[in-house]
Structure 1
Amino acid sequence: MDRSHYLEALEKTGVLPKLAAFNPHVVGTPPLGLDIPTSDIDVVCFAPDADAFACAIWNAFSTQANFRMWQKIKLDRPVVASFAAAGWTIELFGQASPISEQYGWRHFIVEQRLLALGGDIFRAAVMARRNNGMKTEPAFAAVLGLDGDPYQALLSLEGCLDMELTALLKDQGFS
């Protein structure tokens, strides 16, 4: 099957309206314009009741190809499900934390800001790393010369003003 645009895939599957009660937000590489052929579509949701979220996912998507659902063993026990549709793997993530506090959303916002400030050359540098097999956060961290855990390093930038991010980009040769 040909891979449709990610928004078309979401529309065909009805993911956003079917999960509207859980405030779904699309994050990750497709909306950033950094997707590669192996990228999936990530949807984060606010799911204070894990059982209700799991039930909604089961009722809406359990008949989709390659459907899987599991619950992580973490403090708030997020529910994750994935399935294949329209040439994509769609991954649904429901956590008891509000969207604005979830790591997936927080990484997405930082990456979005950096791409807006860094321009085409910065985007190309991140894409080059992605095309060489790097995951998104490690690619950003590598291009920006950030040390340590790339996920934590990106989170450390979320409180920065645009002028501070611009200075970081300039220090790495992106102006």
Structure 2
Amino acid sequence: MLKNLEYLKSGNEKQRRAFKVINQLNMMEDLKIYSPILCGTIPLSIDTASSDLDIIMEVHDFSGFGDKINFLYGPFPQFKLKRKIIRSKLIVKANFIYDNFEFELFGQAQPVTQQYAYLHMVIEKYLLDTNPSWRCEIIALKERGFKTEQAFCHMLELTGDPYEALINYGLRKQII
């Protein structure tokens, strides 16, 4: 379900709009060499008004990727492209606005199915499928300022770095 965007067409209103704008931009086709996957809260229906569209990709040629992203999305409002190190790995990140959606494009030299954003989403989907009543509580926590991973860790009573704690939980429970 999560690798193919077709599920968005029959989703809630925001998911249907997300499907439309991603297709208007021809994003998945234009970036297909990077194996793009939409991650985050919108696919899981736990988004808030400020949620963005997070698209993760496997990138090895950071310079070429940056050039392509700049060419495709540079003209859009609030476009920013930056490189940084996260967990000892170089990443390239781009942000921009299109049709009232904030996009965050994230490139890392790692298969998308091994990136934290994807693994978190798989774990979170499992938890929401297992505990449907959590959806409203997670959204309420997010509206109070919790990041998504923090909200799930709060529900699971996990401590420490929420990004690592959620991964460790998924590994222990054999979700990922």
TM-score computed with the length of structure 1 as normaliser = 0.85
Q: Show the 5 A alignment for 1:23-172.
A: 23-74=35-86, 75-119=88-132, 121-159=133-171, 160-161=173-174
Runs ≥4 residues deviating over 4 A: none
Deviation at 1:14, TM superposition (A): 2.0
- Structure 1: runs of 5+ lacking an equivalent: 163-175
Q: How many residues align?
A: 159
Give the CA deviation at 1:12.
2.0
| Cα offset, 1:82, TM superposition | 0.7
Partner of 2:7: none
Q: Distance in 1 between matches of 2:149 and 2:90?
A: 23
Identity of aligned residues (%): 30
Distance 1:13 1:35 in 2: 21
The alignment partner of 1:77 has SS state of strand
Q: What amino acid is aligned across from residue 109 of structure 2 in structure 1?
A: A
- Comparing 21-30 with 95-104, greater Cα deviation is found at 95-104
SS of equivalent to 1:26: strand
SS in 2 for 1:66: coil
State how far apart, in whole Å, the 1-side matches of 2:92 and 2:111 are: 14
* Aligned residue identity for 1:90: F
Any unmatched runs of 5+ in structure 2? 1-13
- RMSD value over aligned CA atoms? 1.6
CA–CA separation in structure 1 for the residues paired with 2:49 and 2:23: 19
Quick one: distance in 2 between partners of 1:13 and 1:148?
Answer: 39
- The letter of the residue matching 1:60 is L
Structure number with bigger Rg: 1
SS of the counterpart of 1:157? helix
Helix, strand or coil at the partner of 2:94 = strand
Residue equivalent to 1:168: none
Q: Which whole-Å deviations, capped at 9, do the CAs of 1:14-67 have from their partners, x for residues lacking one?
A: 221111110000000000101111111100000011112111111211111111
- Taking structure 2 as the reference length, the TM-score comes to 0.84
Alpha-carbon distance, 1:134 to partner? 1.2
